[in-house]
A and B are shown apart, each in its own frame.
Chain A
Amino acid sequence: MANFNIDAKKDMVYDAIIIGSGISGGWAAKELCEKGLKTLILERGRIVEHLVDYPTMNLDPWDMELRGGLTPKEKEKHYKNIRSGWVGKDTEHFWADDAANPYTETKPFLWLRGHQMGGKSLIWGRQTYRWSDLDFEANAKDGKGVDWPIRYKDIERWYTYVEKFAGISGEALGLPQLPDSHFLPPMKLNCVEKHIKGRIEREFLGRNMIIGRVAHLTQPHNGRGQCQYRNRCQRGCPFGAYFSSNAVTLPPANASGNLTIRPYSIVQSLIYDDTKEKVTGVRIIDSETNEAIEYSSKIVFVNASTLSTTQILMNSKSSRFENGLGNDSGELGHNLMDHTYRVGATGKVEGFDDKYYKGRRPNGIYIPRYVNIDKNSKSDKFLRGFGFQGGGFRGGNPANIESFGGDYKDSILKPGPWEFFLTGFAECLPYHDNQVTLNSHVLDKWGQPTLSIDAEFKANEKALNKQIQEDAVEMLQKAGLKDIVGFDKEHPPGYGVHEMGTARMGQDPKTSVLNGFNQIHTAKNVFVTDGACMTSSSCVNPSLTYMALTARAADHAVSELKKLNI
Chain B
Amino acid sequence: MDRRKALQRTALLSGASILIPSMLSLFQSCKKENRLDWKPVFLKEDEAKTISALVDMILPRTETPGALDVKADMFIDKVFAKTYDTTGQENIRAEITAFNAECKNKLGAIFIDLSEADRTKVLQEAEATSGKFNHGVWGVSVGKQKPIGFYRSMKSMAIWAYFTSEEMGEKVLSYDPNPGNYEPCKPLSEVGNRWSL
Residues of A within 8 A of B (CB): 58, 60-62, 65-72, 75, 84-86, 187-191, 193-194, 228-230, 342, 344, 346, 353-361, 394, 397-400, 402-406, 408-410, 412-416, 419, 421, 423, 485, 487, 489
Contact = CB atoms under 8 A, between A and B. Distances in A.
A356 B188 contact: yes
What bracket does the count of chain B residues touching chain A fall in?
A: 35 or more
Interface stretch (B27-35, B57-65, B92-100, B105-113): B57-65
A399 B133 contact: yes
Residue of A191, A358, A394, A421 with most chain B CB atoms under a 10 A cut-off: A358
A342 B75 CA distance: 32
A399 B160 CA distance: 9
Contacts of A62: 164-166, 169-170
24 contacts: A58-B177, A60-B166, A61-B197, A62-B170, A66-B82, A66-B83, A67-B75, A68-B164, A71-B83, A188-B182, A194-B184, A228-B179, A229-B182, A230-B177, A346-B135, A353-B188, A357-B182, A358-B176, A398-B159, A403-B127, A404-B123, A404-B155, A415-B191, A489-B142
B137 A487 contact: yes
B98 to A, nearest CB: 20
Contacts of A230: 177-179, 197
Contact of A355 (B155, B161, B169, B186): B186
Given A191-B184, A358-B176, A342 B64 contact: no
Contacts of B133: 397, 399-400
Nearest to A188: B184
Given A228-B180, A354-B189, A406 B62 contact: yes
B166 to A, nearest CB: 4
Contacts of B195: 360, 415
A208 to B, nearest CB: 18
A359 B140 CA distance: 23
B194 interface: yes
B25 interface: no
Contact of B142 (A65, A410, A485): A485
A448 B6 CA distance: 63
A467 to B, nearest CB: 17
- A-B CB proximity, top 9 nearest: A85-B139, A487-B142, A359-B182, A399-B156, A359-B179, A191-B185, A61-B164, A85-B140, A62-B166
Contact of B82 (A71, A413, A416): A71
B128 A404 contact: no
B186 A358 contact: yes
A84 B140 CA distance: 8
A72 B79 CA distance: 11
A68 B197 CA distance: 13
B172 A413 contact: yes
B10 interface: no
A475 B168 CA distance: 38
Nearest to A364: B138
Nearest to B131: A400
A487 B194 CA distance: 28
Nearest to A343: B142
Given A60-B177, A229-B181, A485-B134, 19 more contacts: A67-B160, A68-B164, A71-B82, A85-B140, A346-B137, A358-B183, A358-B186, A397-B132, A397-B156, A399-B152, A406-B62, A413-B194, A415-B191, A415-B193, A415-B195, A421-B135, A423-B138, A485-B142, A489-B142
Contact of A358 (B63, B78, B191): B191
B41 interface: no
B188 A72 contact: no
Contacts of B178: 228, 230
A472 to B, nearest CB: 11
B33 to A, nearest CB: 18
A404 B127 contact: yes
B183 A485 contact: no
Interface in B17-45: none
A485 B141 CA distance: 12
A423 B173 contact: no
A416 B143 CA distance: 21
B83 A190 contact: no
A346 B142 contact: yes
Nearest to A88: B139
A228 B156 CA distance: 30
Given A405-B58, A406-B60, A66 B182 contact: no
